[in-house]
Chain A
Amino acid sequence: MINSIVWLIFFGMGWSGFMRGLNYLRFLAPGIFMITIFSHSVFSGISVIWDKELGFLKEVLVAPASRKESIAGRIIGDSIIAIVQGIVILTLSFLLVRMNVLGILPSIVFGFLLAIAFSSLGVCIALRTRSMEGFQMILSILILPLIFLSGAIFPIDAMPSWMKVLAYLNPMTYAVDGARVYLSGMRSLPILLDWVILSAVTALSLGLAMVSFERSTIE
């Protein structure tokens, strides 16, 4: 979250001064909101690794309670924490730049979908990883490209076409675009497309996490 504040203030305000006439901060703020949520939720899998290393996972796996429900509970819990962090950043953004107040609620819904999607993916990765180091290594490889390829910091329209393809494959792109439409009134994709794709990806990855957890064994 500290990182997000640094991005918003130094990076955002710094570039705003350079790009005279364009309100860069207004472009960036929805992006930073999503980056905050993304970078918290993708680490959701870490609690699974902790439980694995400290043995508590066995207690959960051997219990008659529904495994699907317990992992869904964990993912939703982590997503709520991610959303709260996002809201703090969003509040700060509103102090720095004028945005559409009515856009807050739909943006939070977008953020929540994004959080569930990446918490689920984090859990899937964690279940297939043996150690904390391995998990952190995989994430450190993924995080920066996913951020740069989401349109959060610079617009997708200006990217070379091969990069655009990658950006359109990134689920975060649709969350960033959605929030930007509602908060800043800037768009590059149809808003309906944002809703449909993000919801589909979220449902799919949550389902994948639930099935993976259901089938997981200790080896």
Chain B
Amino acid sequence: MDEAERLADRVAIIDRGKIVAIGSVEELKRLVGRDVVYLKVKGRFKGVEHTKLPDGKIKVDVENAMAFIPKLFELASKKGFKILEIEYRRPTLNDVFLHLTGREIRDERGGSIKEIIARRMRAFTTIIYR
């Protein structure tokens, strides 16, 4: 699954003998919805619609996390807050499959618990910035 994301120009999602979706990885992920950015900041965060999480982090729903993060730095220097940590979550192809079929892709390997955890971990990309 990871190799598909990294290497493929286009992906066809196939289930029970039918193609349920076809397109670039980005296009397919857009079917599921948006990216989520989690922030830890020093100072007052403002300028973008957001929700505060109980652990003090800030959650922002965006169309495209990659495009949003550079804007975030501009915002930080304009509004005068400091970014301590950025974390974002993008939908995985597994999320896309789940969305389209209501089931998970079982990896061909059968998937031990360890592998499933490893896969979940990879779905989370973290950038630490101090």
Q: Do chains A and B touch in the complex (CB under 8 A)?
A: no
Q: Which residues of B line the A interface, CB within 8 A?
A: none
